[in-house]
Structure 1
């Protein structure tokens, strides 16, 4: 199978690859569902509060003995209810992007110093979760530690929970985090990911491209590149280099070395925070990053690869995709480089604080309640199993007698 076929068989392509229109539609649908859920949750909370208030008022009235109600009300007999102001799709995206950037800083910085594949995977798991869930239901600050810890497991970078929590509490703004805070959202997170944790990054392709460019450099030092370069194996290229005369190409190699650091920085930041992983394959992201920094180099490389059919529809389609990906990465790099609008983020955060789903704020409590309910169900199932076993044993005992059990005298 080719690399392209392998990627198309992956869960990342099947479940997490979208068209731009589908991505916009999905986020709008998630926001609409969350808005309804939050408003209904607030209505239930108000109803419970009013019931408790009425109960306490009746108790106080009975204690006074004069029937006077102590509850405040409007002239219509009920308190005026103000509709909760929910987040828009754009505000949700700003909050998710902000915490994605925070996660990158936490994962790659002190005291964690995780490899970029671990931190990058955590960002992608985080972004995938918020395609089907809203920050109004689950605050990003609650999900972020769990996503980072889950990534250490899926990427095989073992980190004990105790050590992870100790390091997490050394990060400014994340103090007083407990092991329960990390583990409580984990099942919700894995459900939102559809229990698919595979994340394909362009990092391996970056190294492969760099090595292939060095081979091309060797070929250019030895001779002009052969016309059938794209069809040659590495062994055939090396044999061709040995037969040809030497020819220098320092500019090409300098371009490759200089571009490698710039491209890696783009892949480590803009590509992870943007929607590139939802819209493009890892190789398309890689070429888009190279085209952003070294357009002449990547054009030369692809011209060599597409030398047989440079004007074919598939070649033109490839260039269109690379151009679109490059524009996306360039836009995201400009946003990262710009000074963050703290006032706007602060406004959104305050708005989020007021419209968080009241039934899902305490994830630790919810997790404990679910475990208690599961324990009770397990006890009931165990009791049913014991009853079935006793009935079966009784039936088998009665069946031992050829003519059945003794008749009971009336």
Structure 2
């Protein structure tokens, strides 16, 4: 092994910096985007879905011998319509978790699963009302708060219990089998404990922490989990909660514990940012929280009515196209099995036998 130079290089080549714990997570590597990237992904997914559904609708109409409707007669959902509908069902997940008294961690994980799933999938293929139960049930397993499926279905009044299990694997595929989620809940608790060493006003600090925790629960419904790291979201919520209570506890903590004294130099200590960088990130997060609004039931109903017209018939078990493709799939599988059996039969060579006093024996044994 070549010796290391005193300045941290190997034979004159600078050694790569080790990744931080956050940078090594699948969340950072696969589920972190810029605003533009997030918009482009959703737009591309929506455009591809609309073209796919249009083709399948025409095939469905042909299977029924129906007269084709002109494309302009169908108002397909755009990417922002899809985002709003998914947001509404994320709000429903919040309500379900309160009713079933699941922890905030289960709430956060189930909502994140839902948002990740629809980043690369479309509501025109999978209606959110069919996906959200699977997301919640899967989250209870991931966070070790498993509830028996029958009890789960009974409390949420799910008529078809097996539909939860049937969609579970689809959800796992949609989230790329990456189940570990880094939420702002835990770092918020960590900041709260650390700040107790820098202030004597623990009552005010507790009130700030409780308010920040509620802000974090609201942030779960936004796109912040795709844009920023969990500790950054937690700190922004703490700072916002403190400012609402006219307290400088969090600002003092940030200044003394988390910031470099120099605003122009790069960070020299792991985990520290230049003041302007951190304050800009915190401000951007707080602006998202300030502008965030829930999706009303009326808006969701309007979107759902439009969705009924433009749902993908290839995903509907009651459609003629679905039944046709299933029949074709079964026929192909039967033909494959028949060909395999035929090949095996040809490969079997009959063994010659001869008669003896003890009966017939194979030639190989004589």
The residue correspondences of 1:272-351 to structure 2 (distance < 5 A) are: 272-295=220-243, 296-306=248-258, 309-311=261-263, 312-313=265-266, 314-315=273-274, 316-332=276-292, 335-336=293-294, 341-351=296-306
* Displacement of 1:19: 0.9
Partner Cα separation in structure 2 for residue 300 and residue 378 of structure 1: 72
Matched with 1:44 is 59
The 1:30/1:308 distance shift into structure 2, 3 A limit, reads closer
Runs of 4+ in 1 over 3 A off after TM superposition: 78-83, 340-343, 362-367, 372-391
The 1:139/1:289 distance shift into structure 2, 3 A limit, reads same
Matched with 2:20 is 5
1:182 is the counterpart of 2:164: yes
The 1:374/1:108 distance shift into structure 2, 3 A limit, reads farther
The 1:92/1:212 distance shift into structure 2, 3 A limit, reads same
* Displacement of 1:306: 4.3
1:101 is the counterpart of 2:49: no
1:129-157 residue CA offsets vs partner (Å, 9 max, x unmatched): 11111111111111111111111112222
Normalization by structure 1: what TM-score? Answer: 0.70
CA contact (8 A) 1:137 1:357 kept: yes
Any idea what SS the aligned residue of 2:277 has?
Answer: helix
The residue correspondences of 1:336-375 to structure 2 (distance < 5 A) are: 336=294, 341-362=296-317
Larger relative helix fraction? 1
User: What are structure 1's unaligned runs of at least 5 residues?
Assistant: 54-77, 170-174, 218-248, 399-404
The residue correspondences of 1:261-280 to structure 2 (distance < 5 A) are: 261-268=210-217, 270-280=218-228
User: What are structure 2's unaligned runs of at least 5 residues?
Assistant: 1-17, 267-272, 353-361
Partner Cα separation in structure 1 for residue 319 and residue 131 of structure 2: 12
Partner Cα separation in structure 1 for residue 338 and residue 113 of structure 2: 37
Structure 1 residue corresponding to 2:208, chosen from 259, 268, 271: 259
1:251-296 residue CA offsets vs partner (Å, 9 max, x unmatched): xx2331110110011112x211000110011101101111211143
Matched with 2:192 is 210
CA contact (8 A) 1:26 1:131 kept: yes
CA contact (8 A) 1:288 1:329 kept: no
* Displacement of 1:341: 4.0
Any idea what SS the aligned residue of 1:359 has?
Answer: helix
Any idea what SS the aligned residue of 2:197 has?
Answer: helix
* Matched length: 323
Matched with 1:162 is 150
The residue correspondences of 1:61-76 to structure 2 (distance < 5 A) are: none
Partner Cα separation in structure 2 for residue 375 and residue 360 of structure 1: 19
1:350-393 residue CA offsets vs partner (Å, 9 max, x unmatched): 111111112213399979x98x96999599679949976995x9
Partner Cα separation in structure 1 for residue 331 and residue 68 of structure 2: 41
1:92 is the counterpart of 2:40: no
The 1:261/1:49 distance shift into structure 2, 3 A limit, reads same
Matched with 2:357 is none
Partner Cα separation in structure 2 for residue 44 and residue 197 of structure 1: 37
1:19 is the counterpart of 2:1: no
Matched with 1:239 is none
1:62-94 residue CA offsets vs partner (Å, 9 max, x unmatched): xxxxxxxxxxxxxxxx66645421011221111
CA contact (8 A) 1:38 1:357 kept: yes
Partner Cα separation in structure 2 for residue 119 and residue 146 of structure 1: 13
Normalization by structure 2: what TM-score? Answer: 0.78
1:70-129 residue CA offsets vs partner (Å, 9 max, x unmatched): xxxxxxxx66645421011221111011000011111122xx111111121010000001
* Displacement of 1:164: 1.3
The 1:209/1:306 distance shift into structure 2, 3 A limit, reads closer
The 1:120/1:148 distance shift into structure 2, 3 A limit, reads same
Partner Cα separation in structure 2 for residue 162 and residue 286 of structure 1: 36
The Cα RMSD (Å) is: 3.5
Largest Rg, 1 or 2: 1
Partner Cα separation in structure 2 for residue 275 and residue 215 of structure 1: 33
